[in-house]
Structure 1
Amino acid sequence: MSVMMTAHNRWEVCNGDSSSSKNIVFSAKTSHVIQLKTKLQVFLANNVNEDICDFRVEGSWTESSCVIYAGESSTIIAQMHKKHSVGSLVLGKDKFMVSVYPHVDYAFIVALIVILDEINH
């Protein structure tokens, strides 16, 4: 998967190294340009109208955690917590603890965490 930022705080994730619009798997965008807490709306490629998001991410990077939900529901599909260690403080190497629920694509969750990391750095 390749992850790239487009205009308007929108991220597109494509199959392989492609950046072609025909290879987009999903896109994610922030709810607002300035956010105190991270909120992402995630749209699968076949959701062309984007009236309702397919997934949403809510969290706080300062609190080093987020929760990923299915659509607008309260159904949690994954959770992430950043682990604080000497290495992360001194060497700048972050470690994450991720809980992925059954029947959820791990690569999808990792791509969302990469986007969150990029947004917050």
Structure 2
Amino acid sequence: MPEVVVVGRQYTTPSQVGLKMVKKTMTGANGNTMFQVISKSWTLRSRRFLVDAVNNHIVSFEKKLTSMHSTRRVYRGDSEDPGDLLFTVTRTSLFQTKIQLDVFLASNTSQVNPDFKVKGARFEQSCTIYAGNSATVIAQMDHKGTVTVYPHVDRAFIFALIVILQEIDEECTPTNQRKVDLNAPDFGSFLNGLMN
């Protein structure tokens, strides 16, 4: 498989990597944080920042306000400059039983054929990421949050795609159908409050 470098070559390895996704944080096999998503302030565009373990801004992404397809634009660092656009993610259709995203690199200005495809299972938080419209898998995440990134594939790029998939899935899911995480601290506090 050819090398997949979108964010940076420093985020690739020559071997397959197993990672763990918990909420909006990705950890390595040793449990150390590799990447996480932060918001500096609430804005209409819902701008988010992917940072590394020492809080360096790697990419930023924002929701396009006028899009019916939940479009996200991803930029290098904390830039909003069109020259720093890395890729765009958009939902393939308004009505989906399984969530599917098309990923277009900045150089793909026609946006006819996607450079990558993300296919996810609604409510389960699992997904598979493919090179273009092919059957070539470059990464996948199971319903337990275990992420497998294939050799020579950019981990920061994969993390950004998974976070965007989760956000789009959440905004497209009616509140009464969302999966409840019984281990989430806020849910546990809520239950304790009911029992006391």
Bin of the TM-score, shorter chain as denominator length = 0.7 to 0.9
Alignment-derived partner of residue 96 in structure 2: 35
Match of 1:103 in 2: 152
Per the normalisation by structure 2, the TM-score is: 0.54
The answer for the alignment partner of 1:3 in structure 2 is: 61
Among 136, 139, 142, the residue aligned to 1:81: 142
Whichever of the two has the greater Rg, that structure is 2
Distance 1:58 1:120 in 2: 11
Letter in structure 1 aligned against 2:164: I
* Whole-angstrom CA distance in 1 between matches of 2:120 and 2:167: 14
| Cα deviation 1:67-103 (Å, max 9, x = unaligned) | 00000100000001232xxxxxxxxxxxx21000001
Gaps of 5+ in 2: 1-58, 171-196
Alignment check: 8 A CA contact 2:76 2:85 kept: yes
Question: What corresponds to 1:117 in structure 2?
Answer: 166
RMSD: 1.0
Q: Hey, what does 1:71 align to over in structure 2?
A: 132
Segments of 4+ in structure 1 off by > 2 A? none
Report the secondary structure of 1:120's partner residue.
Answer: helix
Cα distance in 2 between the residues matched to 1:103 and 1:10? 27
**Structure 1 runs not aligned, ≥5 long:** 84-95
SS at match of 1:59: strand
- Residue identity in the other structure for 2:103: V
> 1:35-87 deviations in whole A, cap 9, x for unaligned?
2111000000000011110000012132331100000100000001232xxxx
Percent of aligned pairs sharing the same letter: 46
Matched, 1:19 2:80: yes
Greater fraction strand: 1
Q: CA–CA distance in 1 between the matches of 2:146 and 2:92?
A: 25
